[in-house]
Structure 1
């Protein structure tokens, strides 16, 4: 307290010490802001490019496994020959469509698995990682297609017909009739599953918590001169 001409004035708050309800004071030590560009949890562009390249290569290499499974699980198309031509043994069979369907189903399964693994390992990956996943999925489908054709029955139908002999059944070459539908099944499945996982379990931006923020200040701000003027205008009030 201070005495001025017989009046008592209350002590003023020093200007360098904020009041208990100062809206501009620093946030409490326990609050955390959302990661910003360059933060440890936010990879830079070079790191994200490396991650995208690794994802693309690993996903593309896994196309070999899809090709092997396609050769193993795809139904065979039986052919038979006579002295003049080669014919389908069962003209109403659906083995050719079954080969395409088997490839598409396997590609969708690989797309779901690859998207889940990429999201699990690189949850904070950005657009470049997702682009690497899509590119690797397209390359993987193309590799699987060529591996299946290469490891499947020979494409030399005439030579195989001569080897088999007249009236003997042999398998037709393994091929895709709807190439682009089958090739795009993996990337579309991977992108869709990755988008769903990101929306459901992706990182969220944490809002800053201002523990002591009490809203805007109501009334005139107090300062070193306001206390003196109020005491003078109060006519000796304590």
Structure 2
């Protein structure tokens, strides 16, 4: 039998420089470890949660500005849709969903830019902030939109005058668009551009070198095979 050959990409165990040192942990500009401790990571997660939640104000204002309106008209006794074949109600839900998806992707990119190291607290803050931001945007859009009391609004404008229905979100599942988009984008960015863990060396997989220390003299000798 022949001894196994050392693969060309591994240095020989007889090399005095073997085993190679493990890659050092990432260091900052001042030579310190960039990985934050648990308390710092929790604070960063709270900052992400607050910032992403407040971004829901932008979602509400954009939704109020871009969502199509539903025109109504009154004959003095009842309120009717002015355009019975319109799809403005569906358009309002679609506008909210698209805006939430865009803001989710944007918030994930910004969070990854500032906190490239990641961390469970930051991920939770991003997901929960996206959910709260969606709820805040929904509330802002409906609050600042047309009046919710349709009958009172119709009496105020008078018969035969067109007015707009309240801005509503009928597809409540659109609330999840922001956190889902944020998680997917953040996961993709972390997988593509996030810091890599150091790879282990080959010293654990290779046999000990030939110049390993000999066993002590008082160690028991191995038994000899008895042959006739």
Per the normalisation by structure 1, the TM-score is 0.75
Q: CA deviation at 1:74?
A: 0.4
Deviation at residue 63 of structure 1 after TM alignment: 0.4
2:115 maps to 122
1:164 Cα offset (Å): 1.6
Alpha-carbon spacing, 1:72–1:224, altered in 2? closer, same or farther (3 Å): closer
The alpha-carbon deviation at position 32 of structure 1 amounts to 2.1
Name the CA distance, whole Å, in 1 between partners of 2:103 and 2:24. Answer: 37
3-state SS in 2 of match to 1:112: helix
Query: 2:25–2:33: 8 Å Cα contact kept in structure 1?
Result: no
1:219 is displaced (CA, Å) by 5.3
Indicate the residue corresponding to 1:202 in structure 2. 194
Question: Structure 2 vs 1, CA of residues 116 and 218 (structure 1 numbering), >3 Å: closer, same or farther?
Answer: closer
Answering whether residue 171 of structure 2 is matched by residue 216 of structure 1, we say no
> Is 2:105 the partner of 1:112?
yes
2:156 pairs, out of 146, 163, 178, with 163
> For 2:85, which of 63, 79, 92 is the aligned residue?
92
- Alignment length (residue pairs): 200
Higher Cα radius of gyration: 1
Q: Give 5+ residue unaligned stretches, structure 2.
A: 1-12, 27-31, 218-228
Who is 1:190 aligned against?
A: 182
Secondary structure of residue in 2 paired with 1:168: coil
Output the aligned Cα RMSD: 2.8
**Offset of 1:198 from its aligned partner?**
0.9
Match of 1:232 in 2: none
Q: Which string of whole-angstrom CA distances, capped at 9 and with x for unpartnered residues, describes residues 52-103 of structure 1?
A: 0000000000100110111100000000111221111111110001001000
Matched, 1:135 2:132: no
> RCO (CA 8 Å, sep 6+): is it higher in 1 or 2?
1
Q: Which one of 146, 155, 163 corresponds to residue 153 of structure 1?
A: 146
Distance 2:208 2:19 in 1: 16
Uncovered stretches (5+) of structure 1, i.e. residues with no partner: 1-18, 227-238
> How much does 1:27 deviate?
4.2
After TM superposition, the structure 1 = structure 2 runs for residues 45-64 of structure 1, keeping only pairs within 5 Å, are: 45-64=38-57
TM-score between the two structures when normalised by the length of structure 2: 0.78
Q: 1:22 to 1:90 in 2, by over 3 A?
A: same
Query: Could you tell me how far apart the structure 2 residues matched to 1:225 and 1:89 are?
Result: 100
Alpha-carbon separation, structure 1, partners of 2:45 and 2:165: 39
- Alignment partner, residue 32 of structure 1: 23
Large movers: runs of 4+ above 6 Å? none
